[in-house]
């Protein structure tokens, strides 16, 4: 993807930054001119990504913490404001997927699913959106999934439930924040070729890809492009929207 400078001068917090999709989002947002605050669970991975970007001349800081913990998120938000300036964008990409038949989903599985997919987005918005409202400037991109819109194809009702809840959060907060010029949207990816599919055989990947109208899996770059659009002023009249990037697997 070419440098577009669509996000020049913006400070953006990105969670789930070292995941299969998050890494590409980090790179594409940086190419688009954003100053980045990167968050994920594993310190080594966050430090490596931050160093990679800064070595390439990009402006980036990073930290490892659980984005579902509000004290830790608030501390990272404060650090971001101090080191990179007021936050203009928040991408809540952190998430967790686990294929499991309904009867086998334990209370722990359910809690972790809700924590990593919903609470991370909820806490991120609670930390950052009030300051955006004061400044009357900001854009949030949450991460839904086709599973949250029409149910999980592979067994995983807890994942679908968590992603459905992200959609409810996105639309409700859009109603509260948009009158203050703060936009709240989500991307809803279809099957994307990432680490999550890493264990799959080529045939399994081809079978999942065949469910899209293009007959292939999506690329992390194609999700990152949607994030750039939703963060940038190109989408200035878009809020409460669930941007489907799914190759037509759900129409």
Positions marked active-site: 159
Min dist CB 71 to ligand NAD, Å, is 13
Min dist CB 69 to ligand NAD, Å, is 8
Q: Which is nearer to ligand NAD, 21 or 182 (CB)?
A: 21
Q: Which residue is nearest to ligand NAD (CB)?
A: 19
Characterize 97-109 residue by residue with b for buried, 16 or more Cβ atoms within 10 angstroms of its Cβ, and e for exposed: beebeeeebeeeb
Cα-to-chain-centroid distance, residue 67: 12
Q: Which is nearer to ligand NAD, 112 or 137 (CB)?
A: 112
Min dist CB 64 to ligand NAD, Å, is 8
Q: Which is nearer to ligand NAD, 8 or 42 (CB)?
A: 42
Answer yes or no: are the C-beta atoms of 109 and 96 closer than 8 Å.
no
Give the Cβ contact number of residue 122 at 10 Å.
Answer: 20
Q: Which is nearer to ligand NAD, 232 or 246 (CB)?
A: 246
Min dist CB 47 to ligand NAD, Å, is 14
Contacts 24+ apart (CB under 8 A), 172-177: 173/125, 173/129, 173/140, 174/239, 174/240, 175/240, 177/129, 177/132, 177/133, 177/138, 177/140, 177/239
Residues at the site binding ligand NAD, with contacts judged by CB under 6 A: 15-16, 18-22, 39-41, 66-68, 93-97, 116, 120, 143, 145, 189, 191-192, 194-196
């Amino acid at each position: 993807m070419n440098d577009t400078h669509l996000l020049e001068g913006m400070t953006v917090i990105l969670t789930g930054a070292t995941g299969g999709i998050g890494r590409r989002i980090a790179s594409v947002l940086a190419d688009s001119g954003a100053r980045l605050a990167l968050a994920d669970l594993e310190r080594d991975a966050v430090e490596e990504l931050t160093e990679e970007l800064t070595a390439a001349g990009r402006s980036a800081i990073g930290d490892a913490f659980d984005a579902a913990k509000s004290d830790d998120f608030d501390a990272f938000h404060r650090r971001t404001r101090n080191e990179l300036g007021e936050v203009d964008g928040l991408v809540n990409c952190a998430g967790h997927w686990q294929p499991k038949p309904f009867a086998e989903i334990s209370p722990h599985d359910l809690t972790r699913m809700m924590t990593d997919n919903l609470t991370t987005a909820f806490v991120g918005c609670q930390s950052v959106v009030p300051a955006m409202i004061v400044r009357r400037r900001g854009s949030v991109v949450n991460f839904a999934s086709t599973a949250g819109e029409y149910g999980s194809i592979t067994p995983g009702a807890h994942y679908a439930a968590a992603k459905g809840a992200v959609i409810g959060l996105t639309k409700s907060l859009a109603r509260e924040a948009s009158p203050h010029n703060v936009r709240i949207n989500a991307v809803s990816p279809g099957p994307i070729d990432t680490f999550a599919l890493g264990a799959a055989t080529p045939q399994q990947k081809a079978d999942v890809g065949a469910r899209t109208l293009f007959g292939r899996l999506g690329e992390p770059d194609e999700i990152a492009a949607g994030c750039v659009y939703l963060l940038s002023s190109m989408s200035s009249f878009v809020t409460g929207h669930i941007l489907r990037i799914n190759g037509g697997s759900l129409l």
